[in-house]
Structure 1
Amino acid sequence: MKKIVLLVGACYGLLSVVLGAFGAHALKKILSAQALQSFETGVKYQMYHALVLLLIGFYFSFSSKIESYMAWAFILGTFLFSVSIYFLALGTTRDWTLGWLGPITPLGGLFLIIAWVLLIVNIYNGMK
């Protein structure tokens, strides 16, 4: 599990840099200011959580279920949140019917909230 968390964290970090550059240069010309801001929000959250994944990957052993649940919640939440925002922002330039992605973003956010709560629980349990 540790290797998966570190690998996903590194990949999320790499992709957030690539997508951030893509947004700042290529998408700046084709997206509205609001869509570009949404895209940038997805990039920021992806980078923040890439760093969190790297930190928890180095800190935790993932020997308990709660540590593994926390990691999967961060991985899944980041993917659902950021990727849905990317597609919704890019969909504004085309006639894509992506309304079904609307509920995916808050679902990703919910997974991230759960992940942060589990992180707090893990830290608290480690303090005992």
Structure 2
Amino acid sequence: MIKFAYTILYVQDVTKAVTFYEEAFGLTRKFISPDNDYAELLVGETTLSFASVTLAKSNLADGFQESNPNEKPFGIEIGFTTENVEETILNAEKAGAVVIEKPKTKPWGQTVAYLRDLDGFLIEICTPMG
């Protein structure tokens, strides 16, 4: 059986990224390597992980496209559900997130907003479905 285990974001500063997610969303640090080039946060049944760009480059011989907050985000997002989208956005902004789409109610009743983190990754903040 295959089970989705984690997503890894390649970031400039692992400790700074982890601290942002802890402060912005109240997540709990699971692990950080002694050299601060890899970390994991508890986010439910899966893990949100971070690897330094340097570590990622050592793993991928042909390289990769780095996330850049000054360019358009990648066509992928991290999603967090909450009963209070507005409060979550305020906390994330205090931690350094940038709001790129204010909360909107979708035709199916879900409230959805979009942020970018310190490294430019796209984050959806929304109410739960159903």
TM-score, with length taken from structure 1: 0.29
Pick 1 or 2: higher relative contact order, CA cutoff 8 A, min separation 6. Answer: 1
- Give the structure-2-normalised TM-score: 0.29
The structure with more helix, counted as a fraction of residues: 1
Q: Greater strand percent: which structure? A: 2
